[in-house]
Structure 1
C-alpha cells in the first residue's frame, strides 16, 4: 500500500528481503520512503531509510500496479478475472509454521526501518473489485502470521501486512496513525468499498481502536484472539518479571513460554488435514520433529528489550480499546481459541459479543493462542459463512457469492467419514433419450437450470445434493432457502451452525421471486423445494408426500428465461431416522408447545394467506431416533426444455399443465426409488462397510441397484 504524500518525491528502494528461489513462499517488499535532499527522486539500493512515519509499499515489487502521488492506482494490479471456478485451489496447507519461521528470520535480518506495509508474492493477484484487507500482527510484529492463509485470502482481497521491526519503538499512538492513514487513503480512493482489518492478538486491539476512532468508515473487523483481556491473562505479569530478569537468564524465559504459545500438534496438522488416518498418524510425528528445532527463532523475534516494549504496547492497546468499545459500529467477527494458554480468549470473545453492536463469535475448542497458524481455522471460510464478505457498501447474497474451494469441500461436513457412512447417497439421472444412468450425466452443464423436487425430513437431502453437484460436475447448486435460516437463533446456535455454514458457503439464497429471477438471469443451476418447510418438517407418516401449492409459482419465471426444468425425487429418510415426536405431538405437550411458540416469534410464514395444509409452516425441531443407517436415493427425471417457449410465459393453461407435469414426474421418481431400492444389495450399512473393507483404497463408489 503506497502512502506517498502529494508533496513528496518517491525513492524506490530494493527488496526488503527475498527468500531462496526454491522456497515455496517468496516475499519481496520494495519500499518507497519519503525522503528529501540530494538523493530525492533517485534510485537507492541501500538499507531502508529511517523516517518518522510509515514506509510505504511499491506494488510493482509484487507484480502489481502502484499508487502514484496523485492517488491513482494502476488497474493491472487486479486480475481481469471476475469469478473463480468452483473447487478452485486455495493453497491451504502448502505454507505452514515452517514457512512462517523462515520468513520471520529474513524479516529480522532486514530490520532497521520504521513500521511498513508489505504484500506477499504468495497472495497473487486478487479478483477484480476485491476489497482491501489490512493484516495487523500480534506481539511478534513480523506480519508473517498470515502465511497459512495468504493464497486463499489473496484471491478475495488485496492483502497488505503490517511489519513492525524488532528494533522499532514506535509508540501505540504512532501505530494507530500508520493504520489510520492507510485506512483514510483507501476510503478516499474507494468510498463505496469496505475495508477489512484482520487483527491477531495485539493487532486485534489495534483494529478495535481504529474502528472506534473512525465510526463513519465502512470497516469490517476479523479478530483472532484479540488481546483486550490482557489484564486477566498470563502475559500481564510478564512485564515486571522481564525487567527484573537478568539478561543472561532470558533464554530460560523464552524456552519456558514456547510450549504455551500455541498448539503445535494443530500447527503440524495444517499440511495433512485431507489425508487418511493411517497417513496422518505416520506424517504427524515427522512434521513435529521438523518444526520444533525451528522454534529457536522465537528468541530472535522476541529479544528481551523488544518483548518488554511490546508488552507495554499491548497493555496500552487493551486499556484504550476497552474504553472505546461503545463507539464501534463496524461488523466484527471474533475467532477465539478454547485452549489458549496465554489469554482467556474464549471468555473474552463472548464478552465482546455482549458489548459490541454487531459481533459474531466462532470458538475453536482445541486451538491455542497462535490460531492463524493452526489447523481447523480457515479464515476465508468463516468470513464467507458469517456473510461479511462483500465487495461494495451493501452485502448482496448473489453478487458477493465466492465459489467453494477444494479445501472448503474436503473439510466440510459432507466429506467426513461418519457422514458418508451414515448417508452414502446414490444419485441417478435421466438422459434426454430417456435412459437412466447412475450419476449426474443427465444434468445439463449450461444453465439456466431449475431443479425441483421434494424435501426430506430436516432437509437431509440438501447437503448430499449440493456436494455431489460440486464434486462431480463442478456446478454450484444455488438452493432457495427460507430467509430465517440465514438469521440464526441463539437457542439453536450450537446445533445449527454446521448446517447453516454449509448452505451459506454452498451458495444458498433466501427464497424470493426476485432472487429466483436474478439466478436464472445469471444462467445458474437453482434448487427449489415448492413444499418448503412444511415438507422439511413433516409429520409422522408423511415421508415422500408433497405439500405443494395448487397453482404454479415458479414455472412462469422458468419459461420466461427458457430454463431447463428437472424434476427429481428423493427417498431414504425412513432408513436413517424414526420420527418420535412431531409437531402435532408437541402441540399436545404444554412445555413443548411453549418452546415451539417461542421459536416462532418473529418468524415469517412465506405461505401465509394460502389455503390448505401448505400454509401450516411453523418452525419446530421434531424429535427423532437415529436408525442403523440405510441409504439416501435421488432420481433426476428427464429434462423438460422450455427454450423457445419464452412467449408462452403468459399462457396460464400452458403454465398450469407444465406445473402438473413437474409434480407428476416428482411423484413418479419417488415411487420408482421406493421400488428399486429393495433391489439394492448395499442398502444396509453393514453391507457397505464390508464392501469398503474388501475394496480398501478403491476410489469407486459403493455399488447400488441397476437402473
Structure 2
C-alpha cells in the first residue's frame, strides 16, 4: 500500500503530525520508513464510510458526504474483513527491523494506517509498550481496532534514556491535550508490562479524566518476580555468549516470543507444534540479521531453539546496557505505580488470570478476565472481542448498551456457538455458595452441549396462521418484541438466540438482569467475565431507558415479564407464568408500533426436576444468610411491585438431572400495535392487550406440551441414533404439524 507521506516525529513530546513528501525540511531520508503507518489524525477524505447496527438486528453500511448526515447512528459493527487480513509475526518482524534503527530522536507517537478507517466519534486509544519500547505490540490487532478507535502508539527508541517519570509526563500531556480538543470522548490507555505501569501512573495523576485502562500482564509485581534478584548477575554476563541469558529473558513479562515457549510447556501435540515452530523459524530467520548462538549448530530440542530465538530478538532490540536500563526502569515503575494505586479511579480491564497487585485495588470498576493470560502478539487474542464481551467499548462518558453495541462477527459467533466446557469442577470441601458459583460458570461456558443435548425444535406462525417449522414466520423488520416464558435457569436462551442468528441472521437483544453487568460490591457471585457471551450477543440491563432505545432503533427485543422469579421457580411450578399484575410493556410497544410475538417454550421437565427450592432453602439459617448475601451484591428489581413477582432473591435450587429430552419453541402470530398508540393510552385497553399476550403465551405452552407427546425423537437416544445414520449436522424430525 502506497502512502502519500512519510514520518516526522516531534522533538518536544508533542502529539503526532504529518510531514508531506514535498516538505522543505530536506530530511526525508533521516525519518523512519514506517511503510504501513501514518502520523496524521486529520481526516484526509471528504467521504467516510460508517457502519452500524441495522434496524432488524443485522449489519449495514452507509456513506456520509461532505455535508454530513443528521441520522443518529445507533450502533457500530466490526466487519469480518480485518479478521481475514490480520497481520502476523512476519509483519511484526518486518516492521520492527525498521523501528529499531537508532535515529537519536526522543519518544514519540505514531498512528497505524489501519486506524484511519475509524468513525469521527471513535475514542482515542494510546498504546503504551513493554520494555522493548517499539510500539508494535498491537500490530495483530490494528485492523480490527482501527475500525473503532483512533490509535496512537508510543515509540521509545532503543538508545533513548528518558526516565519513567518523564514518560508518564509525556503520556499525561497527550491525554490532557486530546481531552481538551475532544472533551466528550473517552481515552483508552492500553498498556503491556511497563506500559501498564505508565497507564496506572497517568490515571493516578489525573483521576478526574475520563480514562479506560486496559492492562495486559501489568508489571506491578516486578519486585516479587524471579527477574529482580537476577539483575546483578546479568550485569556480570558478557555482551555475547550462550549463557543463561535466554532463560533470564524468558522471565520478562511482555516478551513477544514468550508464547512459543508457553505453548510447548502446555504440552501441545508434537506434530502441529513442530510445524508451527518450523514456519516461525523461517519467518524470523528472514528478518533477523543475527546468527545462532552456537554458530551453525541447531538445537535439536525445540524449547532450546526458541529460547535462542528469544535471545536473538531481544538482544537485537535491547542490547545489554539498554536491557539493564530498562530493567531498572521496570523496578522503579512497579514501585511508583503500586504506591499510587489508591488514587486510580479509572475504569480498568485487567487481562490476566489473577491480580498482580499486593494490595486492594481501589479503582471504580475492575473487570478481571480469568481466561486470558496471553500476550497481545499471540494468536487467538482479539482485543476487540474482549472489549465487546466485557462491555468496555463506549464512545461517551457512559456506555450506551444500545448505540455502543457491536453485533458479533461470523467468527465471533462461531466461537460462541461452538464453545464447550471441558473443565472439571471439584466441589469437595467447597461451601454451598462456592458450589453455586462453579455451577453457574460451568453452565455459562458449556453452551454448545446445551444445544446438542436438547435438539431444539422451533416453530413459527405465518401471516395466514399456518404453523411451520423454523423461523420464517418471524418479522424481518423491527421493532419486534418477543414476550415469553422463562424456563428454569434460563436454559432456553442459548438455543433460542443461536438459532435466530443461524437461520435469520437476527441479533435478539435480551432484556437482562443487572447482575450480568455490574455489582454493588464484591462477594460470592461469579466474575463478570462469566457472562461475556451474553453481552456479546446483545443483552442489555433491564431499564425503561434501554427498552425505549431498543424499540426506537427497531431492534428485535426479547422480554421475560416473569424475570428471575420465573427462572428460579419453586417445585411443581413448571410452565407457570409469574407476571406482574399491571402491564409493563404494552404502551411502549404501541408507541413505536412494535409487533408483539408471544411465544412458549417447554422441555425443562425433561432436563431436571426441582427437589430443593427457595422455600426449603429459606428454612435453613445457613442458606438463608447465603441468599441474602448474594442478593445484596446486585441491584434490586421491582422493589415497588407486589406479589410473587417481587421476589427477586438470588439462589440456586436443588435440581435432580435427567437424561436430556428436547426443547420446543412456538412463536405465535404477531400482534400488531401499529396505529393503536392513541387507543392503548387507555389503561383498560392496555391491560386487555397485556392479558391477551399472556393468554397466547399460555396457549403456546399448552400446544407444545400436547404435541411433543407424538414426537418419536423427544428422547436423547432416538435423536443420537437418527444422527448416526443421517449425519450429525442433519435436522432431526419431530411431530407432524
Paired with 1:595 and 1:104, the residues of 2 have a C-alpha distance of 54
1:121 maps to what in 2?
A: 113
Q: Is 1:494 the counterpart of 2:526 in the alignment? A: yes
Consecutive unaligned residues of structure 1, counting only runs of 5 or more, are 1-17, 50-54, 68-72, 270-276, 338-345
2:24 maps to what in 1? 42
Matches of 1:139 and 1:691, distance apart in 2: 58
Aligned with residue 434 of structure 1, among 442, 465, 479: 465
Alpha-carbon spacing, 1:626–1:161, altered in 2? closer, same or farther (3 Å): farther
1:360 paired residue number = 367
Inter-partner Cα distance in structure 1 for 2:247 and 2:697: 66
Q: Which residue of 1 aligns with 2:319?
A: 303
Between the aligned partners of 1:64 and 1:142, the Cα distance in structure 2 is 15
1:52-88, Cα deviation, whole Å (9 max, x unpaired): xxx9x99x97579645xxxxx6685964445555683
Map of 1:198 onto structure 2: 190
Residues 421 and 27 of structure 1: is their aligned pair in 2 closer, same or farther, counting only changes over 3 Å? Answer: farther
Partner of 2:163: 171
Q: Secondary structure at the match of 1:372?
A: coil
* Aligned mate of 1:161, from 149, 153, 157: 153
Assess if the C-alpha contact under 8 Å between 1:87 and 1:470 holds in 2.
no
Alignment map for 1:384-463 (pairs within 5 Å): 384-412=388-416, 415-416=419-420, 417-463=448-494
Q: How many residues align?
A: 646
Q: Secondary structure at the residue paired with 1:412?
A: helix
Normalising to structure 1: TM-score of the pair?
0.83
The answer on 1:263 being equivalent to 2:273 is no
- Aligned equivalents of 1:553 and 1:164: distance in 2? 57
Q: Quick check: 1:79–1:128 contact (8 Å CA) kept in 2?
A: no
CA distance, structure 1, for counterparts of residue 369 and residue 513 of structure 2: 23
Q: Which moved more, 1:419-428 or 1:439-448?
A: 419-428
Q: Given the alignment, which residue of 573, 577, 595 partners 2:604?
A: 573
Any idea what SS the aligned residue of 2:370 has? strand
| Cα pair distance change 1:301/1:78, threshold 3 Å | farther
Return the alpha-carbon distance in structure 2 between the equivalents of residues 205 and 254 of structure 1: 25
Runs of 5+ consecutive residues of structure 2 not aligned to the other structure: 13-20, 54-58, 61-76, 285-308, 421-447
How far off its partner does 1:635 sit? Answer: 1.2
Distance 1:102 1:641, change over 3 A: same
Residues 9 and 109, structure 2, Cα contact 8 Å, conserved in 1: no
1:379 matched to 2:383? The reply is yes
Question: Is 1:88 matched up with 2:84?
Answer: no
Contact persistence 2:221–2:334 (CA under 8 A): yes
Aligned to 1:273: none
Structure 1 residues 552 and 281: alpha-carbon distance in aligned structure 2, compared to 1, 3 A threshold = farther
| Corresponding position of 1:289 | 278
Q: Is the 8 A contact 1:677 1:705 kept in 2?
A: yes
Distance in 1 of aligned mates of 2:349 and 2:163: 27
Deviation at 1:518, TM superposition (A): 2.1
Rounded Cα–Cα distance in structure 1 between residues aligned with 2:261 and 2:455? 31
Residue of 326, 332, 336 corresponding to 1:320: 336
Decide whether aligned partners of structure 1 residues 613 and 213 sit closer, same or farther in structure 2, where only a CA change above 3 A counts. closer
Q: Give 3-state SS (helix, strand or coil) of 2:356's partner.
A: helix
Q: 1:544 to 1:284 in 2, by over 3 A?
A: farther
Aligned mate of 1:669, from 690, 700, 711: 700
Q: For 1:179-210, what per-residue CA distance to the aligned partner results, in whole angstroms no more than 9, with x for missing partners?
A: 22321221111112111000001110111111
Q: CA deviation at 1:511?
A: 2.0
* Higher alpha-carbon deviation: 296-305 or 665-674: 296-305
Q: Deviations over 1:230-254 (max 9, x none)?
A: 1111221343222110123267523
- Name the structure with the higher helix share: 1
- In 2, Cα distance between equivalents of 1:547 and 1:285: 58
Contact kept, 8 Å, 1:559 with 1:642, in 2: the verdict is: yes
Q: Distance in 1 between matches of 2:631 and 2:104?
A: 61
Q: 2:8 aligns with which of 12, 31, 36?
A: 31
Indicate how the Cα distance of structure 1 residues 248 and 34 shifts in structure 2: closer, same or farther if over 3 A, else same: closer
CA separation in 2, counterparts of 1:528 and 1:562? Answer: 16
1:110 and 1:612, CA in 2 relative to 1: closer, same or farther beyond 3 A?
same
Alpha-carbon distance in structure 1 between the residues aligned to 2:398 and 2:670: 37
- Give me the CA root mean square deviation: 3.4
1:404 Cα deviation (Å)? 2.0
Worse overlay, 106-115 or 478-487? 106-115
- CA distance in 1 between partners of 2:131 and 2:345 (Å): 26
Distance 1:207 1:495 in 2: 24
Deviating more after overlay: 78-87 vs 591-600 = 78-87
- Specify the alignment match of 1:207 in structure 2: 199
Write the deviation string for residues 529-583 of structure 1: whole angstroms up to 9, x where unpaired.
1111111110111111111223322112212211111011111122222323110
Q: CA deviation at 1:626?
A: 3.2
Secondary structure at 1:239's aligned position in 2? helix
**8 Å contact 1:126–1:156 — kept in the other structure?**
yes
> How much has 1:112 moved relative to structure 2?
5.1
Distance 1:669 1:150, change over 3 A: same
